[in-house]
């Protein structure tokens, strides 16, 4: 018996014999492995799905906040109501609440160096320290509301400069003109910029002859004739507009609190917001501020 037991033990421990695993054991082991791999794969798929769902939900929230803000501008009477001072306190707080709601969803972490910043922008909302208020003050301190109107305000940002254009109308659109304000922009941080006023220009007004009242057409013709008789250098100086040097007179710091391909929100040092929307089409070549001021 001892020899038999020993023979069986020797045969089981022989190096030439390979260890055998039962089918049940193999299935059990395979089952464990498959369950572990399947569980890991399911966990990864679940995490991916949850991440995609969260990203989609946040993007939908952002788009909804944009629509809500644009609707608030419309409900408040738009740019014309803001310029004329007809916007109510309730409308202002409603717009500001929606501005804050959109700012927290800002998709651009470093807006001051983002390519989205360059281009043409239209002012929808402006604050106490913005170029929009400066243009309004220059206009309404000199002309009553019934005589002059600020119809729109837009801005070109390009290569470290900005040019704000205030579109003006006088005498019920008989006379139209532009006030241009050029500023230099310097990057102070990921979201902070310094703006230095450079020059202001009152362009030569344009007169719509069809809109001139009959009783004024005679004096208008005489004025045009007198202008044509002036020496050429004086006529050129008048036609190029009245230039006001502003270098070294005013500067401000502001931060970009929201920027995407369609909306720009900036806040000055007091926290007051300006909201701009991108204008369609490429910027006009005559609005390039760099070529005028680098020489």
pLDDT in tens, 36-69: 445 555 555 555 556 678 888 999 999 999 999 9
The reply to whether 285 falls in a domain is yes
Q: Does residue 222 sit in the same domain as residue 198?
A: no
Q: Does residue 112 sit in the same domain as residue 256?
A: yes
Q: Does residue 118 sit in the same domain as residue 217?
A: no
Q: Does residue 65 sit in the same domain as residue 173?
A: yes
Looking at 193, 220, 239, which one is the last position of a domain? 239
Q: Does residue 70 sit in the same domain as residue 152?
A: yes
Q: Give the pLDDT of residue 191.
A: 97
Q: Does residue 133 sit in the same domain as residue 220?
A: no
pLDDT band at 10 (very low <50, low <70, confident <90, very high): very low
Backbone angles phi, psi at 225, to 5 degrees: -65, -40
Q: Does residue 162 sit in the same domain as residue 246?
A: yes
Looking at 194, 215, 239, which one is the last position of a domain? 239
Q: Does residue 214 sit in the same domain as residue 98?
A: no
The reply to whether 27 falls in a domain is no
Q: Give the pLDDT of residue 97.
A: 96
Q: Mean pLDDT, the chain, as a whole number?
A: 75
Angle (CA) 22-27-28 rounded to 5° is: 95
pLDDT band at 110 (very low <50, low <70, confident <90, very high): very high
End-to-end CA distance of the chain: 113
pLDDT band at 167 (very low <50, low <70, confident <90, very high): confident
Q: Does residue 235 sit in the same domain as residue 284?
A: no
Residue 185 lies in domain? 61-203+241-293
Q: In a 10 Å sphere around its CB, with 0-12 CB exposed, 13-18 middle and 19+ buried, how is residue 128 labelled?
A: exposed
How far apart (Å, rounded) are the C-alpha atoms in residues 291 and 143? 33
The reply to whether 105 falls in a domain is yes
Q: What is the count of structural domains for the chain?
A: 2
pLDDT band at 148 (very low <50, low <70, confident <90, very high): low
* 226-284: pLDDT as tens digits: 555 556 555 555 566 778 888 888 898 999 999 999 999 999 988 989 999 999 866 55
Q: Does residue 213 sit in the same domain as residue 134?
A: no
Q: Does residue 136 sit in the same domain as residue 268?
A: yes
Which DSSP category does 3 fall into? H
Query: Looking at residues 13-20, what average pLDDT do you find?
Result: 48
CA distances from 188 to 19, 181, 195 (A): 73, 21, 10
Are 56 and 78 a contacting pair, CB within 8 Å? no
The reply to whether 5 falls in a domain is no
Give me the CATH number covering residue 90.
Answer: 2.40.128.280
Q: Give the pLDDT of residue 143.
A: 58
The reply to whether 38 falls in a domain is no
Q: Does residue 138 sit in the same domain as residue 231?
A: no
Are 130 and 254 a contacting pair, CB within 8 Å? no
The reply to whether 136 falls in a domain is yes
Are 194 and 185 a contacting pair, CB within 8 Å? yes
The reply to whether 223 falls in a domain is yes
The reply to whether 15 falls in a domain is no
């Amino acid at each position: 018996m001892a020899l038999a037991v020993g023979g069986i033990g020797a045969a089981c421990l022989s190096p030439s014999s390979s260890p055998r695993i039962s089918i049940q054991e193999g299935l059990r082991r395979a089952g464990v492995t498959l369950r572990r791999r399947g569980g890991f794969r399911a966990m990864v798929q679940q995490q991916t799905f949850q991440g995609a769902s969260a990203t989609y939900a946040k993007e939908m929230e952002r788009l909804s906040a944009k629509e809500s803000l644009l609707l608030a501008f419309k409900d408040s009477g738009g740019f014309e109501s803001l310029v004329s001072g007809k916007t109510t306190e309730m409308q202002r707080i409603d717009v500001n609440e929606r501005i804050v709601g959109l700012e927290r969803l800002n998709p651009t972490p470093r807006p001051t160096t983002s390519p989205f910043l360059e281009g043409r922008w239209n002012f929808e909302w402006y604050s106490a320290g913005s170029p929009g208020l400066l243009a309004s003050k220059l206009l309404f301190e000199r002309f009553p509301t019934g005589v002059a109107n600020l119809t729109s305000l837009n801005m070109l940002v390009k290569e470290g400069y900005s040019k704000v254009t205030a579109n003006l109308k006088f005498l019920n659109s008989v006379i139209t003109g532009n006030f241009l304000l050029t500023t230099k922009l310097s990057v102070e941080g990921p979201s902070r910029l310094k703006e230095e006023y450079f020059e202001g220009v009152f362009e030569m007004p344009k007169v719509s002859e069809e809109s001139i009242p009959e009783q004024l057409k005679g004096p208008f013709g005489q004025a045009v004739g007198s202008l044509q008789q002036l020496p050429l250098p004086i006529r050129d100086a008048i036609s190029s507009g009245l230039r006001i040097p502003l270098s070294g007179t005013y500067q401000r710091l502001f931060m970009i609190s929201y920027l995407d391909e369609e909306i720009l929100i900036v806040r000055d040092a007091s926290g007051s917001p300006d909201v701009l929307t991108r204008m369609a089409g490429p910027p006009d070549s005559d609005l390039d501020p760099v070529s005028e001021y680098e020489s």
